[in-house]
Structure formats: structure tokens, C-alpha cells
Structure 1
Amino acid sequence: MNKQIFAALGLAVAALAPAQAALVTDASALTLSTALVDFENFDGLLTTGPVAVAPGVIFTGDLGSELGANNRVLGENGMWGANGAFAAGAGIGELRFSFAALTAGVGAFVNHYAIASFPLNMVVSVYGDNNQIIETHNFSVVTDPFGYNEGQFLGITRASADIRSISFKGVGVVVDNLQFTTAVPEPQSYALMALGLGLLAAVAKRRRA
């Protein structure tokens, strides 16, 4: 009977946990509570960092990176600059965001410079506590060459909170509305904890009987 109780608890935990690490293209994939960084507090700050862009979030980038950019030409991917401030790289480079608390999911609305005759990719990577890459993906954003502020949400979710930082690398990378999961449990998490405690209490009661 005890084995059945623990098996049921294991199935409940598995049902609420993320299925696997993955590149995600929709912000709704960040299923826990999230925090948002929109860069509206900056106005054309050219910096390599480190700069705090929000409580517990530090920016670093390559030479020519800009916080609070308001205009970028992205070649065949159109232009950015009509909907407020964003973070931008210069030429080929990296924009990185590090978190004071480990997170299980992070992403942003992004785009990059594109040339019709030569496909260009953006590299999205997350790093662990030891500054080693724990997951990386290549993605080519394709938007209207006559469009404004078009892009793609790109993020990475993990089965556990082991992400210390995320980076976006490429040619003319632009990033806005950075989102990351926080440690605040959702109601279903409280329900799971209650279920687990109840099952453990049942096991203890049977042992005393």
C-alpha cells in the first residue's frame, strides 16, 4: 500500500512539472509567475555593463550595446523604434541578462538584422551557476521587410530552476519585454504540496497502527 501512495505522489509531481527543457516561441510557455523588464527606464545608454535593468537582473553586452535604444534598421526584417525603448546590440554581438535568483524559464521579444540572400541566425543560450552553457538554440527570425517592431518571442524553459543567465547573440540583435519566472508558487503548487503532506501523513498513520 505504501508503494501505491508514493507512486501516486510521484505521478502528481510529474503532472505539474515541465515536460522537458525546450526552446519556446510563446510567452505563455512560462507557466509560473513572471517578472517583466521593458527597458523604458533607459534612454540611449551605450554600455557593456554590468547595469541593473530591474531588481535582481543584471545586463552585460559587447561593445556598442545600448539600453533604451529607440531606432534600429534590421534590413529585410524591417525596423524597430515605434513602440518605446529596447535593448540593442551593435554589429555582431551578445546581449546577456543574469538573475540574482535561479529561474526555470526566461525569454524575450526579439529580432535581428536579416539579409535576403544570406540567412542569419540568432543564438539563444542559457547558462548555469558555473557560467557553463546548459542549453543553446539557433533560430532565424523572419518578419516583414516593411514592418515596424515585428519580431518573435524566444525563450527557454527548464525542468528545474537552474538558469543563472540568458544570452541573445547575432547580427544587429534587438530585445524587448524580457520575461522570467519567479519563485512564487501558483495555487496548483500549493495543492500539490498539500497532497504530498496528506499522503505522508497517511503513511505515518498506517505505520503507527
Structure 2
Amino acid sequence: MKLTFIAAALASFAMLPAHAALTNDVADLYNPLSVDFESYDGFLTSGPEMVAPGITFTGDDGSQLGANIAVLGTNGLWGVGNFFAASGFIGELRFTFADLTAGAGAFVSHYADDVLPFGIVVSAYGDNNQIIESYTLSIDTDEFGYNEGQFVGITRDIADIRSISFKGNAVVLDNLAVATPVPEPETYALLLAGLGLICMAARRRMS
């Protein structure tokens, strides 16, 4: 009876939706892989373009990889000494992952002024291109600053993110970060078993 109850409880827990969070700290992503755009130089493309193994970029018609200048109104300038990804004036930058991930984000900014206060919509998509999380936020930096912005990411408690997108007015981003898979409990069990066998072999040699 108790085993049946426990099994039913575990099944119910597995059916619950994944907990998600918007984060401004790249450290919230497990062992993140970082991708920059220094290997590109003003490459105008809507994709698909593989920017790293297992990571494919797509965007609107005005998108650019390796952009070297962007005027962001009251959010200053980007492009002093680095290359980055940039959307058209109203566009989207999306990154799709060959393997599902539990978290992704980037260092971002966008065009802003008194007339266009609208910022960025950050969305995570699962399989079948459905939105599983979406957040709207504005970034406010020094009007006379250079390369200023904020890390924005989405984390989940299971690996169900197939892609992440950043939409808005003249969106710019750099240092895309993607969480690497968390080892499964079975992996830890195999590792411990292997260490146990090594210890047993070592003891036999010493005796």
C-alpha cells in the first residue's frame, strides 16, 4: 500500500510543470558554455548559421553576426573593441540547441529613448516551437556608456529548452551562455562503482 502511494506521488510530481526563473547571473546556469561572435565581421544573415557546435542562430532580415557598432539611444553605444550579434531595428535573435538545456542567456542591451521605451522580450521555447517561458524587460544604461548592458537568462529545473530568443528594438547581445547537462544520478552511481572497483584492486595489490 505504501509503495503504491509513493509510486503515485512520484508520478504526480513528474507531471508538474518545470519551475522556471529569470536570472541576471550567469552563475545560475550549470557549467555554462560561452559563445562570442569575434570570429564574425559584419556578417548580415538571417541564418541558419551554426555559431558553435550544436548551437544554431536564426534572426530577422536585418540581423548581423560580428556587428561592430550599434547606436542604442539612451543606452549608449556598443562596438568599442568587440564584435557582437545585432538584430534589425525591430527584430529577433534566436539560438537553437541540438541538445535540450536547462538554462540559457546572454549579455544584452537594446535601443531606448523617450518615444520607444519598449525593451526586450526574452522567450524560451521547447520542442515543437512552443513558448514555455517569456519575460518582458527594459534595460537602462548610461546614455554615454560603451558596451553596457545586463546578463539576462532563463533557467529551468529540467532540460526542456530547445531555443531562446531575444526580441525588441535594435537588440544587441554577446557572450551567449548555455547550461551544460547536469549528470544523471545513474552517472554518479556508475562513477562511485568504478571508484570502488579501483580501490578494491589497489588493496589486493598491496596485500
The normalised TM-score by structure 1 is: 0.79
Q: Which amino acid aligns with 1:63?
A: D
Q: Which amino acid aligns with 1:151?
A: G
Match of 2:83 in 1: 85
Range that drifts further, 81-90 or 104-113: 81-90
Q: Which amino acid aligns with 1:58?
A: T
Match of 2:14 in 1: none
Q: Which amino acid aligns with 1:79?
A: L
Q: 1:112 aligns with which of 110, 113, 116?
A: 110
Q: Distance in 2 between matches of 1:182 and 1:59?
A: 18
1:171-182 equivalences under 5 Å are: 171-182=169-180
Deviation at 1:190, TM superposition (A): 6.1
Q: Distance in 2 between matches of 1:117 and 1:78?
A: 16
Match of 2:151 in 1: 153
1:60-99 equivalences under 5 Å are: 60-99=58-97
Match of 2:55 in 1: 57
Match of 2:21 in 1: 22
Match of 1:40 in 2: 38
Q: Deviations over 1:156-199 (max 9, x none)?
A: 001100000000000010010000011253xxx769944xx99x
1:130-149 equivalences under 5 Å are: 130-149=128-147
The percent identity for this pair of structures is 60
Q: Which amino acid aligns with 1:35?
A: L
Q: Distance in 2 between matches of 1:118 and 1:171?
A: 8
Contact 2:111 2:119 in 1 (8 A): no
- Structure 1's unaligned 5+ residue stretches are 11-18, 199-209
1:100 aligns to what SS in structure 2? strand
Q: Deviations over 1:113-155 (max 9, x none)?
A: 0003542120000100110101000010000000000000000
Q: Distance in 1 between matches of 2:22 and 2:176?
A: 15
Q: Which amino acid aligns with 2:114?
A: A
Match of 1:168 in 2: 166
Q: Which amino acid aligns with 1:29?
A: D
Q: Distance in 2 between matches of 1:153 and 1:190?
A: 30
1:119 aligns to what SS in structure 2? coil
Q: Deviations over 1:76-112 (max 9, x none)?
A: 0000011411000111000000000000000000000
1:130 aligns to what SS in structure 2? helix
Q: Distance in 2 between matches of 1:172 and 1:64?
A: 10
1:160 aligns to what SS in structure 2? coil
Q: Distance in 1 between matches of 2:81 and 2:185?
A: 38
